[in-house]
């Protein structure tokens, strides 16, 4: 992406197949997230060692979800950084192996390994002389603990799952309104390149697509709330082609997102807990009763 800045892109960016990256300096390597499975994380670490010639001494978790943190245990000598809620959530949930929701995955030997250096708002990390600014987005968005990495010298932005490129946003565990605020904050950076949590590196146009999706989500939820329609019924009646986003991966996410959006219409605040299990049950129903596609 720039001198010493690398993105590790995992096609096709679908469920549990995330992007990571690393920043390599003369005496240190900062890794940005790990992967969902032992196999994928070992491949990532091997590539870092091949390119940078050393194993990361520092690891950032952009948020607590397992596709970005399950592999933490495979970097046992790295200082792991993350938002304090990221640590709390990993301790609470451990390594999830959801059965019946996703197609079968070979997870491997994994142990929950949360960040042990935490922060509330911001921390600066230097890789050699290169400044990497780690910032909490400041509001529940994809989750309650989303952190992005900004490299001002090169205008490179690692967003974690605040941005999906080519796939539907997923805000079930965060906030629809908060995600729109987050996008506005990311736009201010005017990044030369964005490395999203899933999908190919992209430009600011990906933020516009996400905003269009989220605004349609809010309008759909408002109407569903007035009509007393369930999230599943509302999703089945929604036409994403009206905003040109009907080709996004994971159309079933619309159901989970509507669970959150309707809860917000009824007074829920960003990050408030809602029934996540019920939302996933509805997503499977929207998918014809079949487990969600997962090739991790």
Within 94-247, where are the H helices? 176-187, 205-227, 231-236
Please give the pLDDT value at position 73.
98
Per-residue burial over 40-63, b if 16 or more Cβ lie within 10 Å, else e, is: bbeebbeebeeebeeebbbbbbbb
**pLDDT at position 247:** 87
Quickly count: other Cβ atoms within 10 Å of residue 122's Cβ: 11
What pLDDT score was predicted for residue 246?
A: 82
Nearest to 217 by CA among 261, 282, 280, 171: 261
> Alpha-carbon distance 181 to 174, whole Å?
12
- Tell me the C-alpha distance between 274 and 261, whole Å: 11
Structural domains in the chain, sorted by start:
5-160 (3.60.15.10)
What would the two tokens of residue 229 be? 């329609």
| Peptide bond before residue 12 is cis, with ω within 30 degrees of 0 | yes
Tell me the residue length of the chain: 296
pLDDT of residue 245: 82
What pLDDT shows up at residue 242? 77
Return the structure tokens found at 30.
Answer: 């900062």
If 0-12 CB within 10 Å is exposed, 13-18 middle and 19+ buried, where does residue 5 land?
A: buried
**In tens digits, what is the pLDDT along the chain, a chain of 296 residues?**
999 999 999 999 999 999 999 999 988 999 999 999 999 999 999 999 999 999 999 999 999 999 999 999 999 999 999 999 999 999 999 998 888 899 999 999 999 999 999 999 999 999 999 999 999 999 999 999 999 999 999 999 999 999 999 999 999 999 999 999 999 999 999 999 999 999 999 999 999 999 999 999 999 999 999 999 999 999 999 988 877 788 899 999 999 999 999 999 999 999 999 999 999 999 999 999 999 999 99
pLDDT for 240: 86
Q: What confidence score (pLDDT) does residue 244 get?
A: 78
pLDDT score for 99:
84
């Amino acid at each position: 992406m720039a001198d010493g800045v690398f993105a590790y892109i995992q096609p096709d960016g679908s469920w549990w197949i995330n992007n990571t990256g690393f920043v390599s300096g003369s005496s240190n390597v900062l890794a940005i997230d790990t992967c969902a499975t032992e196999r994928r994380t070992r491949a990532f670490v091997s590539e870092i060692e091949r390119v940078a010639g050393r194993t990361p001494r520092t690891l950032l978790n952009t948020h607590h979800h397992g596709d970005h943190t399950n592999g933490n245990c495979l970097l046992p000598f790295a200082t792991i950084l993350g938002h304090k809620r990221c640590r709390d959530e990993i301790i609470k949930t451990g390594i999830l192996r959801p059965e019946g929701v996703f197609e079968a995955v070979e997870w491997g030997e994994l142990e929950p390994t949360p960040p042990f250096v935490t922060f509330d708002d911001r921390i600066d990390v230097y890789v050699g002389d290169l400044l990497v600014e780690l910032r909490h987005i400041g509001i529940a968005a994809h989750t309650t603990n989303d952190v992005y990495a900004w490299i001002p010298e090169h205008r490179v932005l690692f967003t974690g799952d605040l941005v999906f490129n080519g796939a539907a946003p997923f805000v079930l565990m965060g906030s629809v309104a908060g995600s729109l605020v987050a996008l506005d904050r990311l736009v201010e950076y005017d990044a030369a390149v964005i490395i999203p949590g899933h999908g190919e590196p992209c430009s600011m146009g990906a933020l516009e697509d996400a905003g269009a999706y989220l605004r349609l989500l809010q309008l759909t939820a408002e109407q569903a709330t007035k009509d007393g329609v369930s999230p599943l019924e509302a999703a089945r009646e929604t036409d994403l082609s009206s905003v040109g986003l009907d080709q996004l991966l994971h159309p079933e996410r619309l159901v989970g997102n509507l669970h959150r959006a309707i809860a917000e219409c009824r007074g829920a605040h960003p990050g408030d807990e809602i029934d996540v299990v019920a939302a996933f049950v509805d997503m499977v129903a929207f998918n014809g009763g079949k487990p969600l596609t997962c090739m991790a």
